Amino acid sequence: MDSMTIPTRLEKPPLTQVVFELRIASHKQLPQLLPGILFSKFGKDIDVRELPTAMPPVISEQLKSFNPQLKYQPEKAIRIENVTINIGENIIAFICEDSYLGWQSFSGNIKNILEIISNSFDGVTIERYSMKYINILSDTEGFVSSKLKLKIETAGEDVCGKNQFFSLRTDYRIGDVVCAVTIISHAAAKNSNMAVIKTGTLLDVDAICEPYNGKLSDFLSDFSVKAEVVHAIAKDRFFDLVSDAQLEKFGPVYS
């Protein structure tokens, strides 16, 4: 979709979660000390909880040796207003699950927290960063073929135009960014208490800058440009995939 025709906002957005994630070189002090630092800044306005993925150090290191991806599991969740910050030795993720106020507000909160981290910890090195939009398009709005600009045939059968279960993932590169799109025809979104809040077609768009190797301080000096690149790719791909009829149901506003 041409950038001139992309809505400035949607009155009825299908968003269930927005995530801006940094994967970092191991920094053991970060999950231990950051909650206290943020408490000194925000006081009673923050809520900190231990996540189920947090493990005793000895067990954690043993499991990571078998599955390196486990090192990106967060240990703590810090809630500040409408943004949750998941942190671990190798990850800082900013998550908004409700009351998403748009990119300008979200990115401002991200930069503010990252500046606190940069000023409080030495040697934070970013290995990759990404922007993800997770959407659920209601099942009451028709088959996948009416919601998305997508056509899949198997043995001559139109999969998207029927009440069929399927999952699809595509990865492709746009400059330095890999755009990963996941579509699942019958999916469910759950809240933090694991209660189902919405069912329908999952449209997950993830724009990932990887590999990236740079200090957090350097990343922040050019934050508006770097963050906007992954934000724009994720946003544009969403609007490229949504059908015109479906877009109208979201209540697009052009202003």
Q: pLDDT of 100-157, one tens digit each? A: 999 999 999 999 999 999 999 999 999 999 999 999 998 776 789 899 999 988 888 8
Query: In sequence order, what are the residues at sequence separation of 6 or more whose Cβ sits closer than 8 angstroms to the Cβ of residue 232?
Result: none
User: 161-200 in b/e burial notation, b at 16+ Cβ within 10 A?
Assistant: eeeeeeeeeeeeeeeebbbbbbbbbebebeeeeeeeebeb
Please state the pTM of the whole predicted model: 0.91
Q: Domains of the chain: which residue ranges? A: 10-253
Residue tagged 């994720």 (tokens): 234
DSSP structure class, residue 152 = -
Q: How confident is the model at residue 44 (pLDDT cuts 50, 70, 90)?
A: confident
- Rounded percentage of the chain residues whose pLDDT exceeds 90: 71
Per-residue confidence (pLDDT) for residue 246, from 0 to 100 = 94
